[in-house]
Amino acid sequence: MTDKLFDDFVKDKLGQHNSGAPMHVWERIREKEKDNKKGFFFFKRFWLTGIVLLTLSGMVYLSWDSVIKHSNQEKLLTTTTEQNNTNNSNQTSTIAQTENDQNKAGLSATNNNTVLEKQDNENTLLTQGPVQQTEAGKNEPVGINNTSHSDVAAPLKIKKQSNALIKENNAEINSQQKIQADKTGNLIHSPVQSSEQTAAKEFVLSFTNMAAYRNSLKDFRIGNVPQRTVGPSCPTVNGPRRNDLYIEVYGSPDYTMRSFSNSANLNNYIAQRRTSEDNRNGFSAGVRIAKNIGEKTLLKAGVNYSQINERLKIVNENEKQITQIITIRTVIRTPGDTLFIRDTTYFEQTGTRYRTTYNRYRFIDIPVIFSYEFGNPEILAFSVNAGPVFNVVSFYRGEVLDTTFNPVKISTAKGSGPNNWRSNIGISVFASFAVYKRVNERLQIFAEPYFRYNFKPVTQSTNFVNQRYTTTGMQLGIRYNLFNEKQRYR
Amino acid sequence: MHRHLFLKINHPILILTDHQLIHGCIKNDQQCQQQLFERFAGKMLTVCLRYAIDRMEAEDILQDAFIKVYMNLSQFKFEGSFEGWIRRIVVNTALKYCQKKKMKYDEVQPEAANVGGIDPSAYTHLNEAELLKLIHRLPEGYKMVFNLHIIEGYSHEEIAVMLHIKDSTSRSQLVKARRYLQNEILKMQKSIAV
């Protein structure tokens, strides 16, 4: 009852007590607000600048890309047109030269001469056949094969093929013309329009159309279709072979599960450990190299750093502290006669002691992981990964409770106490499932939930209490293709 | 509406309601912010003084707490007492300050726990300043629990969560704190009598 009265008295007195508003604190708040506003403004401006820059660069990129595409298309069209003309002239000249050579070598018995004649319609005509010496001393064709090349837009290879066909056809036609010339005497201009010639012409045109079609395909691919939609590469006799070398950089928030096992009957001790220590989670980060060893399999190896955080809280309600107070008094009785009086008293205090220690358990490992990839690497790929993780070194900082519930520092020295931990936890097993999203030609981002099981506890084998950690986490990172060769053919 | 509010706010004599003050502060009106500070800072300083080691620390807590109040005013849903809302922010800020000190060594005289309940006549003459001084002398753990339970009205379960201790610890700390204070009051009385 008296306690209640006392409590009410204190509450009434202090509950609504006003100590007076300290206006200098208000001034401080105002100044801080101004600073914050400035900071916020700067921050905002910084972000605004960033956004503007990004937008501008995006716009420049897009416009530049479209300009390049447009110019490519124009160039393609120009080159196609030019190619038509130049190819015709080149073609005819090539043919002329070839046939001249043939004539020189005496390979052709019937075609003694080859003459190029340019007509008024600017189409190049290939004229072959026996020629007569005119009065002006010029070589004039006896048989004319009117093959128009104005609409030819074929690559050189195809044109050569068509030229070969033209030659074959011309040879036949010329032989007919020769016969005709033999019959009629001096035949100067005798165009031949046989069915064979027309068929040959159509055949050549079909080739030239194919070339045009191929060019248009090329144009279509460059201009309109994204690169990633290009179909799969053709397999060779040996099959397609990847030659990828990736570097993967990642970080992961981790969640660790702790388990205890003990050889002695120390259930109370373990219960105390569980209540006094709580998991503050951890993280891991690393870098690894991934090399494909098959079409869909990869081998990964790298360095991984992981950290487990824990908090140890100890509340000791009846803590006693003894304070020694030494008082020295100086008494000057006469000059030169000084007396020092030293009093020593001990003061014992009892109270509650709160103690919090943040423990850090760190591990450096080398993971060796086998990975099997599936899905579409151009859009979204997946992989299943598993392998051993070799611990290089483990080091710790912090405190744990000993069996008398007093905090003791963790050490890697050999011993049987709960604070004697391993400096190397040996081999662990790693398993994960990853999802890869392509960002550009070389870069991918990935998310990889994983699970790691440690075979060995962190405590030394001689300990009566074994403490083991199992870790799960979500690795988030980027993967960069160093070679960027989609396929290599053997 | 907005213009009208500004005219009202800019009038120096007009005392705004909590509702108007809050809206003014959300709109970053400095006069509203100042008026809010003037209205609540005195009471909140008492709260801070109860938790802090000295006045300087109390003012630091008050400053941080009011910055939080201004920043989070938009989250106030007008469902309860505005003063209570501010008080909660101040208490939480004070607790954070105290929790920053990782190692606490709370001292208490051995005889403190042996005092029984005292007669109300022994303490009714005490004023607020004297009471504050007495509370200041309490060991930190006792002070926290005493303030939170007796003055702020938190239950032991709530205190246990706030201070990361057990309910039983909170209860025992409260009993010890009460006895300690009563003992100090008795001591004061004796010294006055002498």
Q: Map residue A404 onto helix, strand or coil.
A: coil
- For residue A426, give the nearest of A462, A468, A464 by alpha carbon: A468
Instruction: Give CA–CA dist B26/B38, Å, rounded.
Output: 17
CB contact under 8 Å between A7 and B150, yes or no, is yes
Those residues with Cβ within 8 angstroms of residue A299's Cβ, 6 or more apart along the chain or in another chain: A290, A291, A292, A293, A368, A369, A370, A371
Q: pLDDT digits over A409-468, tens only?
A: 888 877 667 778 888 899 999 999 999 999 988 899 999 999 999 999 998 877 778 889
**B178–chain A Cβ distance below 8 A for any pair:** yes
CB contact under 8 Å between A14 and B46, yes or no, is yes
CA distance B42 to chain A (A): 4
CB contact under 8 Å between A353 and B106, yes or no, is yes
CB contact under 8 Å between A17 and B151, yes or no, is no
CA distance B81 to chain A (A): 14
CB contact under 8 Å between B104 and A321, yes or no, is no
CA distance A50 to chain B (A): 26
Among B45, B50, B165, the residue with its CB nearest the CB of A315 is B165
Residue of A nearest to B57 (CA): A25
- B residues 78-137 lying closer than 8 A (beta carbon) to A: 102-110, 117-120, 123-124, 126-128, 131-132, 135
Average pLDDT, chain B: 79
CA distance B101 to chain A (A): 10
Instruction: Give CA–CA dist A415/A460, Å, rounded.
Output: 8
Instruction: Give CA–CA dist A148/A411, Å, rounded.
Output: 93
The dihedral of CA A284, A287, A293, A295: what is its sign? positive
User: Would you tell me how many other CB atoms lie within 10 Å of the CB of residue B4?
Assistant: 8
Terminal-residue alpha carbon distance, chain B: 66
CA distance B61 to chain A (A): 10
Q: What is the DSSP letter of B147?
A: I
CB contact under 8 Å between A6 and B178, yes or no, is yes
Instruction: Give CA–CA dist B110/A167, Å, rounded.
Output: 122
CB contact under 8 Å between B150 and A21, yes or no, is no
Largest CA distance in chain B: 66
Residue A285, φ and ψ in degrees, nearest 5: -150, 155
Give me the architecture of the A245-314+358-481 domain, per CATH: Beta Barrel (2.40)
Phi/psi-derived region of residue A294, left when phi > 0, alpha when psi is between -120 and 50, beta in every other case: beta
- A residues 27-46 lying closer than 8 A (beta carbon) to B: 28-30, 32-33
- Select the residue from B105, B137, B170, B183 to test the A interface by mutation, using most A Cβ atoms within 10 A: B105
CA distance readout (Å), A50 to A349, B3, B77, B175: 60, 35, 35, 59
Here the ipTM equals: 0.79
B63-96 in b/e form (b: 16+ CB < 10 A) is bbbbbebbeebeebeeeeebeebbbebbbebbbe
Considering the domain B110-193 in this protein, what is its CATH number?
A: 1.10.10.10
Residue of A nearest to B147 (CA): A11
Residue B112, exposed/middle/buried by CB under 10 A (0-12, 13-18, 19+)?
Answer: buried
CB B152 within 8 A of CB B85: no
Query: What topology is assigned to B2-99 in CATH?
Result: Rna Polymerase Sigma Factor; Chain: A (1.10.1740)
- B residues 6-65 lying closer than 8 A (beta carbon) to A: 30, 34, 37-38, 41-43, 45-46, 49-50, 59, 62-63
CB contact under 8 Å between A349 and B127, yes or no, is no
CB A129 within 8 A of CB A111: yes
CB A398 within 8 A of CB A411: no
Q: pLDDT digits over B144-192, tens only?
A: 889 999 988 899 988 888 888 888 888 888 888 888 888 888 887 777 6
Residue B110, exposed/middle/buried by CB under 10 A (0-12, 13-18, 19+)?
Answer: exposed
Those residues with Cβ within 8 angstroms of residue A224's Cβ, 6 or more apart along the chain or in another chain: none
- B residues 69-88 lying closer than 8 A (beta carbon) to A: 70
The dihedral of CA B4, B7, B10, B16: what is its sign? negative
Residue of A nearest to B139 (CA): A351
CA distance A272 to chain B (A): 14
Domain range summary for chain A, segments of one domain joined by +:
2-42+78-220, 245-314+358-481
Terminal-residue alpha carbon distance, chain A: 96
B62: tokens are 């008050």
Write out chain B residues lying below 8 Å of A14, CB-based: 46, 50, 128, 131-132, 135, 151
Q: pLDDT digits over A250-294, tens only?
A: 999 999 998 888 766 777 888 888 888 888 789 999 999 999 888
* Locus of tokens 């997946």: A382
CB A176 within 8 A of CB A144: no
Among A13, A23, A352, the residue with its CB nearest the CB of B141 is A352
Write out chain A residues lying below 8 Å of B137, CB-based: none
CB A231 within 8 A of CB A285: no
Q: Give the H/E segment covering residue A288.
A: strand A277-292
Phi/psi-derived region of residue A185, left when phi > 0, alpha when psi is between -120 and 50, beta in every other case: left
Q: What is the pTM of this model?
A: 0.38
Q: Give the H/E segment covering residue A441.
A: none
Instruction: Give CA–CA dist A196/A176, Å, rounded.
Output: 12
Residue of A nearest to B100 (CA): A356
CA distance B186 to chain A (A): 13
DSSP characters over A4-65: HHHHHHHHHHHHT------HHHHHHHHHHHHHHHHHHHHHHHHHHHHHHHHHHHHHHHHHHH
Write out chain A residues lying below 8 Å of B90, CB-based: none
Residue A147, exposed/middle/buried by CB under 10 A (0-12, 13-18, 19+)?
Answer: buried
The dihedral of CA B80, B86, B89, B95: what is its sign? negative
Residue of A nearest to B151 (CA): A11
3-state SS string over B96-134?
A: HHHHHCCCEECCECHHHHHCCCCCHHHCCCCCHHHHHHH
Write out chain A residues lying below 8 Å of B117, CB-based: 1-3, 6
pLDDT tens digits for chain A (490 residues)? Answer: 577 888 888 888 888 888 888 888 888 888 877 766 655 545 555 566 677 777 777 766 665 665 566 556 655 555 555 555 544 444 444 444 444 444 444 444 334 443 334 444 444 334 344 444 444 444 444 444 444 444 444 444 444 444 554 455 555 545 444 444 444 444 444 444 455 666 666 655 555 566 666 665 655 554 455 555 444 555 545 455 677 889 999 999 999 998 888 766 777 888 888 888 888 789 999 999 999 888 889 999 999 999 999 999 888 777 788 888 888 888 888 888 888 888 898 888 888 888 889 999 999 999 999 999 998 888 889 999 999 999 999 999 998 888 788 888 888 877 667 778 888 899 999 999 999 999 988 899 999 999 999 999 998 877 778 889 999 999 999 999 887 655 544 4
Q: What is the DSSP letter of B15?
A: P
Among B102, B105, B131, the residue with its CB nearest the CB of A14 is B131
Size of interface A-B (CB pairs under 8 A): 127
Alpha helices (runs of H) in A265-345, residue ranges in sequence order: 267-276
